[in-house]
Amino acid sequence: MAATRPFAGFEILIAARFLRARRAEGGVSVMTWISLVGIALAVMALIVTLAVRAGFRAEFVDTILGANAHVTVYRGSYLDDQGRMTRAMTDYREVAARIAAIPGVTRAAPLVRGQVMASVLDRANVADVYGISTEDLRSIPRVGGSAEALGSLDDFDRGIAIGSGIARELAVGIGDRIRLISPNGARTAFGTSPRVNAYTVVYIFSAGRWDIDRTRIYMPFAEAQSYFDREGAADEIEVHVADPDRVDDLAPQLLAAGGPNTLLWTWRDASGAFLGALDIEDDVMFVILSILVLIAALNITSGLVMLVRNKGRDIGILRTMGLTEGSVLRIFFLCGAFVGIIGTAAGVGLGVLIALNIDSIMAGVNWLTGGQAWDPSIRGIYRLPARLQAGDVARAVGLSLFLSFVVTVLPARRAARLNPVEALRYE
């Protein structure tokens, strides 16, 4: 008999009839349904997890790059004209201009930085103060362009801008006054007295990061110089670049523009360990969920073994009619493959649906748990983001189909090697 074309139409037809047959006729077993549902749930979990991990990483990196310097240029310690150890940059205007002229640099802003205690009545909170010009503050995406901001930066020269977390902790709003207390005040014969000034809140921003919103205050640059005793100097230059992923390539030019004793601190230096931990966690989660897909796929083997046993008579009849071992193998391979394909398709549909509606789902979970499902003080960001990526979906689909196809080979070979005489002996 001439060899038939692999996966011919009649092979697909027979496989489909085997799967559609009722249980009483030796059709699909309960184990096959369990394996189909298991594969769907495992693929769904894998896609949702990958989407959430990608979204979390993207949101975290965006908050880093949108509210912080991509590179901080500062000076190492040196002795000033009065013999005091300092890191102040007295030539900050020239340095900022040279850095801004470097191709790839989008912004170079001199900063004055210090730590204070912010207080209103009996409430107090530790805060990091950034002295910055109004124009430079406007250009910070997550601060000057905050979608949830209150007030106006047009009044920044007459007050301060604070994070929404500080505003919440101190129970203040636009127009309220906050006292800022710095321990490094004026030196007197009796010691150093704290410096205390009161400022009006003119702008409240939300950078999307709990730790930033709870600790950051922006002050006009000239006022910060006066308040922190940095007359004619800046502490550092905040640099933003067009491509943050290639920030290390600009290091030689930044060091040259900064002059002698210049040091750099990039966003990767600040958050590299955390991002590395996220990468490791992504790999571990993929391996764990891949094992779940494998366990679900192995149920196909159990279902096919039971199907082969129930269809022994049919196999014998088909073999006596001239069906080859290869055709029988392909028929039962198709039975298992159909289960894997249908389960994978259902899992992709469910996974994409959940990933696209993760905000609504988490809002419902938070409502049911009284807001305990997502704590921004632990996670750092305010919501659970999801970012569907074609590569992640393709990985999940490829893994599921590969495992589903592999586990069907053994029971399909068993069916192909079934002796038709033995199958029909007792019929």
Q: Tell me, yes or no, whether 223 and 313 share the same domain.
A: no
Of 260, 285, 307, which marks where a domain is finished? 260
Q: How far apart are CA 236 and CA 107, in angstroms?
A: 13
Our CA angle for 77, 83, 88, nearest 5°, is 40
SS (H, E, C) the chain: CCCCCCCCHHHHHHHHHHHHCCHHHCCCCHHHHHHHHHHHHHHHHHHHHHHHHHHHHHHHHHHHHHHCCCEEEEECCEECCCCCEECCECCHHHHHHHHHCCCCEEEEEEEEEEEEEEEECCEEEEEEEEEECHHHHHCCHHHHCCCCCEECHHHHHHCEEEEHHHHHHHCCCCCCEEEEEEEEEEEECCEEEEEEEEEEEEEEECCCEHHHHHHEEEEEHHHHHHHCCCCCCECEEEEEECCHHHHHHHHHHHHHHHCCCEEEEEHHHHHHHHHHHHHHHHHHHHHHHHHHHHHHHHHHHHHHHHHHHHCHHHHHHHHHCCCCHHHHHHHHHHHHHHHHHHHHHHHHHHHHHHHHCHHHHHHHHHHHCCCCCCCHHHHCECCCCCCCCHHHHHHHHHHHHHHHHHHHHHHHHHHHCCCHHHHHCCC
The residues facing 243 across adjacent strands are none
Please indicate, yes or no, whether residues 42 and 105 belong to a single structural domain of this protein: no
Residue 265 is assigned to a structural domain of this protein: no
Q: 256 and 190 share a domain?
A: yes
pLDDT for res 26: 45
Structure tokens at 273: 């360990």
- Look at residue 2 and tell me if it is in a domain: no
Question: Domain for residue 68, yes or no?
Answer: no
- 3-class SS of residue 192: strand
Listed as ranges, residues in the chain with pLDDT below 70 are: 1-8, 20-31, 185-193, 311-312, 314-315, 318-319, 322, 366, 369-382, 418-427
Distance CA 287, CA 309 (A): 34
Q: pLDDT (tens digit, 9 = 90+) per residue, 222-271?
A: 999 999 988 889 999 999 999 998 888 999 999 999 988 899 999 988 88
| Structural domain contains residue 208 | yes
Determine the pLDDT at residue 177. 94
Residue where one domain finishes, among candidates 227, 260, 293? 260
Q: What pLDDT, on the 0 to 100 scale, is given for residue 187?
A: 62
pLDDT digits (tens, 9 = 90+) for 308-352: 777 667 667 766 776 777 777 788 888 888 888 999 999 999 999
Q: Are residues 100 and 44 in the same domain?
A: no
d(Cα 176, Cα 158) in Å, to the nearest integer?
13
Instruction: Tell me the C-alpha distance between 358 and 374, whole Å.
Output: 13
- Residue 3: its pLDDT value, please? 55
pLDDT in tens, 111-140: 999 999 999 988 989 999 999 999 999 999
Within a domain: residue 255? yes
191-205 and 160-163: which strand pairing? parallel
Residue 4 belongs to some domain of the structure: no
State which residues form the domain around 182: 77-260
My answer on whether 40 and 177 are in the same domain is no
pLDDT score recorded for residue 359: 78
pLDDT of residue 25: 46
Number of domains the chain is built from? 2
> pTM value?
0.74
